[in-house]
Amino acid sequence: MYARMRQEEVHRMMQRLARATKDSGMVDLSSAFFELTLSITMRMVAGKREHLSEDEKLEEAKKLREIIKASNLLNTNIPDYVPLLRWTGRRGKLLKVLEDLQSQREGFMQSLLEERRKILSEVGDLNQEETNIKCIIDVFLSLQQNEPEFYTDDMINGMVQMMIVGGSETTAILMEWVLSLLLNHPNVVKKAYQEIQNHIGGSNRLIDEFDLNHLPYLQAIIDETLRLYPSPAILSHHVASKDCTVGGYNIPRGTFLIVNLEAIQTDPKLWDEPTTFKPERFLNVEKKDFGFSYLPFGYGRRACPAEVLGMKVMGLAFGSLIQCFDWDRVSEKLLDMKLSEGGEFNMPRVTPLLAKCKIRPEMANHLF
């Protein structure tokens, strides 16, 4: 579902990068990736992308970005982990900030709901409209008509918040890590490019989502990045639903549990050369065979509901970036791969990601 829309948005990003690289040869990937993932999420959830147009003057666009950034920043509440701090004033201050943020988020999402409600009342069933497709809010609103006590505005508002806030920055940050690793490992880019060439052949068309199943090495690059740089790096907000034992420790029911994904996925007892970027380790294996050693989308009932979507967006974006551009670092030095220590839940890079790229001449006619 929404495959054509994802293709359009990736193509739009590629065209923007092509224009930027013609001017300066240098591109700001942090902005490009955030814009891509936000556009895709907004179109899918709310049926529009204009929040995210290049025209950053739009007040709403700025507001949405601020909400997403603040949500991810505030997701890690230190007093939840160090109960002693609950007795200090910090908790009270934080609660106030969270209340303000929540009221902004609710207001913003409610305006999206009202907008779709108005459109639906004007045009009727969007499925009949060839130019418009149903977005997720439309689906919720039509369910609301049959079960209003369950699909309340509050419930829909909460779901929409989770999708927009959870879906955009996480994927964008991961994309920054994928490209950072690629810039530091040009031999990996070469192999991925060869794989794309072998499958598609020549320059007659751009890669699409149907190609992804035939590109295992590209897929392995993304899997290996998710191992080394999981975003989020910790799974928090879990509570033991019954008494249990973990690693020999007795955990009473109700205990707040934190899973340190980064530590598990780079544990030398579980992984060979744990900190080395080796996409090959994901070739010819079933990911489920790694069991609890590899959980970049969480596990069980509260696992990420959008794993397939996230993997498709990243696969399509990186397949296209490798197919159409030659990549290089801005300096000879390897990129700094340190995680941000700013306490951010999603573990972004310390510095924004800049790179040099050149359009592969044979692909230029697809981008201009």
Question: Which positions lie near ligand HEM, rule CB under 6 A?
Answer: 41, 162-163, 166-167, 170-171, 174, 226, 231-232, 235, 296-298, 302-306, 309-310, 314
Q: Tell me the CB-side half-sphere exposure of residue 96, using CA atoms within 13 A.
A: 4
CB of 187 to ligand HEM, least distance (A): 24
Name the amino acid, one letter, at 296: P
CB of 12 to ligand HEM, least distance (A): 18
* Residue 324 labelled as part of a binding site: no
Q: Which is nearer to ligand HEM, 162 or 354 (CB)?
A: 162
Q: Which is nearer to ligand HEM, 246 or 334 (CB)?
A: 246
CB of 71 to ligand HEM, least distance (A): 12
Measured at CB, which residue is nearest to ligand HEM? 298
CB of 249 to ligand HEM, least distance (A): 20
On whether the CB atoms of residues 178 and 225 are closer than 8 A, the answer is: yes
* Alpha carbon distance 155, 140 (integer Å): 10
Q: Which is nearer to ligand HEM, 267 or 307 (CB)?
A: 307
Q: Which is nearer to ligand HEM, 115 or 262 (CB)?
A: 262
Query: Who's near 114: CB < 8 A, 6+ residues apart?
Result: none
Q: Which is nearer to ligand HEM, 49 or 366 (CB)?
A: 49
* Alpha carbon distance 303, 297 (integer Å): 6
How many Cβ atoms sit within 10 Å of the Cβ of residue 22? 13
* Alpha carbon distance 40, 173 (integer Å): 15
On whether the CB atoms of residues 322 and 192 are closer than 8 A, the answer is: yes
* Alpha carbon distance 192, 198 (integer Å): 10
CB of 263 to ligand HEM, least distance (A): 14
Binding residues for heme are 304
Binding residues are 304
